[in-house]
Each structure stands twice: as structure tokens, then as C-alpha cells.
Amino acid sequence: MRTQLKVFGVLLAAALWGAAPALVNAEPADSATEPQKKLGPPPDKQTAAKVNAYIDVMNNENEQLFSQQREWLSVIDPKVGPTCKEQISIRQEIGPKDGRYDVYRKRLKAKPALPADAAALRMVDAVEELHDLGRGPGPYNSYQGKDGSWCKRLKEVFPQVLAIFQKYSASEAEVRAHVERFTDERDERDAQAALKKYGRNYRYAFARMVLDGKIMMRGLHAEMAKHSPDPNVVRDLFTAYLTLGEEMKAKMDVDVHAKVELFPHVFRFFLIESLPKIKRGRDALLESLSAPPEKRRAERNERAFSQVISAYNEIIGYMNQVKFDPNMK
């Protein structure tokens, strides 16, 4: 089962993929001549499970926490603090914790010990601290504290909320760096194995799209974080991923008429359904980046990049469903 780290919003970086489909025995392909990066041995199951535990925490918690961080910091200047004119609250899930923090900690404390364990546990601590803080009294809005108690509570809570955001963000960055190194090497290993056994066919193309997609999104995130993103750099970042996707779709359009199934149907489906959405987002982003500077361009850039992110996360969902039959190359 693949575990994919989704991309939530323009503040976050690349998407990350889990284990690739198992390769069945086959004769080595003659076309496996591409230069290959030298890699170490594959990780054991326990190590892979630990990294997937990191990914699950990020997938389950990042969107909610980073969304709240953006909301609070858009309303309150951290250098100034609350003015008590703000109406802000800690968004809270309805119901109990359901023990999910204990489940996280159990998985993160399992063997083997990895360098990012402590940071991942700090992430869980931060999420639980925010959860508990949000279940306490206020701040909600000024109408619930006419006597000034709301303002006092807001000023008490804000430093705590800010510390939680900082704790989670710093820890998430450390965990993410570890996960990216781990999964980049794993996905490169999967691509090399597919190329060696099956040549430049669907299994190899799928493995390359996993890796090239992460490279694309990571590069886009880095470029879009700059004050003045370069449209030429942005255009080039899409090239390898979209070119491979279009080549595979063209090949599938022919092979779909074969008497036997040569590729998983869902692989072709997301190329038809979701890849055009990424292209439309790319085109909107390049149009916005290339336009003369104006007051709302940053907003248009973010909206266009969000289209790319949404389409890419849609592809992630489809890729998690891809399963190759033994006769498929």
C-alpha cells in the first residue's frame, strides 16, 4: 500500500510517495541503459513503517495546523500582539481525542530509532497542546467578554498559540527533510528496478512519474516562495513530468485496443482526467507571473498554484489505486 504525503497549500513543499508496486520475476529488458544513481540497500519493513508513521502524522495534521497558523498570523501581527479588535478562535474538532495522539506516539516510539523520531514526537505534542488549548475558555469574540475578559484571554492565549505553531513548524521541517531523503532514494530504487526488469514501459513510466512529480512540486514550491518567481524556471519545472505523462497517454491510446490489458486502467484515467488540470494551472500561473506587476498578482499567483496543487493531489489519490498485474510491463 502506498503512503503519499499530500501537498496542502502554497506554504508546503513536495509530495512524497510510499512503497512502489511489487515487481514480479521477468527477463531483464534490453533497453535498461539509462545512467543510474548508485543507491544503498533497500530499507527493512520496520524502517519503512516508521517513515510511513511520520507521513501519516503530516497527512493528518498539517492541513489543519498550518491553516490555523495562516489564519492567526493574518489577523495578529506577532511583533505587536493582539489589539483586541480581532475576532479569532482556535478551530476545534467536535468530540474527544479518540486516542489518536497515543496511537501516533506508539508508532513513533517503535523500533528502529530514527534521527527524526524526537521531532515527530514534538509535532504530536504541539497538535495535542493546541487541541487542549482550544477546548479551554475562549478567546472567541468580543461579544462574549463585554467586561474585558475576552481581551485579557486573547492576550494570554496568543503567546501560547504562537509557541505551538513555531514548535510544530520547526519539527515538521526536520521530519519532512528526513522523509524526502528516504523516499527520494526509495523511489529512485523503484525506477531503476522497473527499468532493469521491464524496460521503458508502463511500470518504469509510473515510477518515474512518482519521482518526477515530487521533484516538480518541490521545485515549484521553492520558486514560488521567492519574492519574484521566474516564469521561465516555473515553465521548465513542469516539462519532464508533463512530457512523460503525455507520452504515456499517447501510448495508452494505442495499447488500450490490445486484446490483453497492458496497463492498469486507473493509470490512464488520471492522465486523462487530472493531467489537463495541472496544465491549466500551469498556464494560469505562467500568465500571472508574466503579466505586468499589479496589486493583486500575488493573489492570482497563489490561486493558480493552488490549482496545480489540487490537481496533483488528485493524481496522488489515483496513483494510490494503481496495481500492476503480473503480465503487465
Q: Are residues 166 and 209 in the same domain?
A: no
Residues 229 and 157 in one domain: no
Residue 110 lies in a domain: yes
Would residue 109 count as lying in a domain? yes
The rounded distance, in Å, linking the Cα atoms of 48 and 51 is 5
Residue 12 located in a structural domain: no
Q: How open is the CA angle 5-181-11, to the nearest 5 degrees?
A: 45
- Domain edge (last residue) among 176, 210, 238: 176
Q: Is residue 318 part of a domain?
A: yes
Can you say how many angstroms the Cα of residue 104 is from the centroid of all Cα atoms in its chain?
Answer: 19
Reduced to 3 states (helix: H, G, I; strand: E, B; else coil), residue 21 is coil
90-115 as b/e, with b when 16 or more CB fall inside 10 Å?
A: beeeeeeeeebbeebbebbeeeeebe
DSSP 38: -
- 97, 169 Cβ separation under 8 angstroms: no
Cell 520496520 locates to 46
pLDDT score for 36: 63
Instruction: Return the pLDDT at 150.
Output: 80
C-alpha cell read off for 17: 510517495
**98 is a domain residue:** yes
Considering the domain architecture, whether residues 210 and 136 belong to the same structural domain is answered as no
pLDDT (tens, 9 = 90+) of the chain, 329 residues, equals 455 555 543 222 233 333 322 222 233 333 344 556 677 778 889 999 999 999 999 989 998 899 899 999 998 999 999 988 888 888 766 666 678 899 999 999 999 999 999 999 999 999 999 988 888 776 665 555 566 778 888 888 999 999 999 999 999 999 999 999 998 898 899 899 999 999 999 999 999 999 999 999 999 999 998 888 999 999 999 999 999 999 999 999 999 998 888 999 999 999 999 999 999 999 999 999 998 887 788 888 989 999 999 999 899 888 888 999 988 89
Longest dimension (CA), the chain: 80
Look at the chain and report how many structural domains it folds into. Answer: 2
Q: Reduced to 3 states, what is the DSSP secondary structure of residue 263?
A: coil
Output the pLDDT for position 14. Answer: 30
- Helices 265-273, 297-319: axis angle to 10 degrees equals 170
Q: Name the one residue in this structure whose C-alpha cell is 493573489.
A: 299
Same domain, 172 and 215: no
pLDDT value at position 149?
Answer: 79
Is 33 inside a domain boundary? no
Query: pTM score, two decimals?
Result: 0.74
Domain that holds residue 138: 43-176
Burial 273-308 (b: 16+ CB within 10 A, else e): ebbebbbebbebbbebbeeeeeeeeeebbeebbbbb
Can you tell me whether residue 5 is helix, strand or coil?
Answer: strand
Q: What's 252's domain CATH number? A: 1.20.1420
* Exposed / middle / buried, residue 125 (Cβ in 10 Å: 0-12, 13-18, 19+): middle
Which pLDDT score is estimated for 147?
Answer: 64
| C-beta separation of 222 from 274 below 8 A | no
Residue for cell digits 521566474?
230
- Residues 163 and 101 sit within 8 Å (Cβ to Cβ): no
Q: How far apart are CA 61 and CA 295, in angstroms?
A: 33
Q: Are residues 130 and 62 in the same domain?
A: yes
Look at residue 146 in the predicted model and tell me its pLDDT.
Answer: 62
**How far apart are the C-alpha atoms of 124 and 133, rounded to whole Å?**
14
Location of C-alpha cell 500551469: 282
First-to-final CA distance of the chain: 19
**Hey, what's the torsion of the CAs at 206, 208, 213, 215, to 10 degrees?**
170
